[in-house]
Amino acid sequence: MTADKEIVLSVRNLTKAYSAAGERIAVLRGVNLEIAAGERVALTGESGSGKSTLLHLVAGLDRADGGEIDVAGASVSQLNEAALAAMRRDRLGLVFQQFNLIPSLSVRDNLAFQSRIAGRHDAAWQNELAERLGLAAFLDRYPEQLSGGQQQRVAIGRALAVKPALLLADEPTGNLDEATADDVLSLTRDLVAQTGCGLLMVTHSTRLAATLDRHIHLSAGLIA
């Protein structure tokens, strides 16, 4: 960790349990994690180890039982729902395995969706993203007219258009074939570096994890 870089994600002693069939199951048992601006971190762990839970808590989509989460200076546990929504809109980019594009909007309008809502639309930056993501020729198409890899590139462009402090990606290449996954990931790596945001990416692939700056592993509710 470089000392002079802004910390865009700080997680301290994070705990979360779920109730299932009358039993409490501890999923996160005291997770600690820091990500600096520009740092790209891969998160692996067995299925059910709590990777998505961790991302949901960071995004404020679910509440932790204990611990602290700071996203670019915002203390997630102390925000009310409206402030959490604003935090997600203004500081976070979210990318999931399902591309979650809006079917009735063109590629251009999907790309602009979050940045327009956040009041931070920057046409020059969006054009550059479209160019870099190989989407410039497809701006008037609709999501159903794109391949899976192209759809995921739109989702990544939409997330980065807002110039987030932190990009959270939950198995973003899980629905793509290996060559397309490599392609999408290397573009994401480069664009994150250019944007200067932090990246926390869940992946099943230790091969892909090894291509990021740091690889962390979630096991028995802790990051080793």
Applying CB under 5 A, which residues contact Mg ion?
Answer: 51-52
> Out of 8, 27, 107, 200, which residue is the one contacting ligand ADP (CB under 6 A)?
27
Question: Smallest distance from the beta carbon of 150 to ligand ADP, in angstroms?
Answer: 26
- The Cα 94–Cα 112 span in angstroms is 14
Structure tokens at 177: 């074939």
Question: Smallest distance from the beta carbon of 160 to ligand ADP, in angstroms?
Answer: 23
Sites for ligand ADP among residues 51-110 (CB under 6 A): 51-53
- The Cα 26–Cα 80 span in angstroms is 25
Of the listed pieces 44-52, 114-122, 152-160, 182-190, which binds ligand ADP according to CB under 6 A? 44-52
Closer to Mg ion by Cβ: residue 38 or 60: 60
Give me the residue whose beta carbon is nearest to Mg ion: 52
| Phi and psi, residue 132, nearest 5° | -65, -30
Closer to ligand ADP by Cβ: residue 66 or 196: 66
Q: Give the type of residue at 222.
A: L
Binding mask 5-24 for ligand ADP (x = CB under 6 A): -------------x-x----
**Interaction of residue 50 with ligand ADP, rule CB under 6 A:** yes
Closer to ligand ADP by Cβ: residue 47 or 104: 47
Of the listed pieces 49-57, 70-78, 147-155, 173-181, which binds ligand ADP according to CB under 6 A? 49-57
Q: How big is the CA angle at 112 (ends 80 and 189), to the nearest 5 degrees? A: 85
> Could you list the residues that contact ligand ADP (CB under 6 A)?
18, 20, 27, 45, 47-53
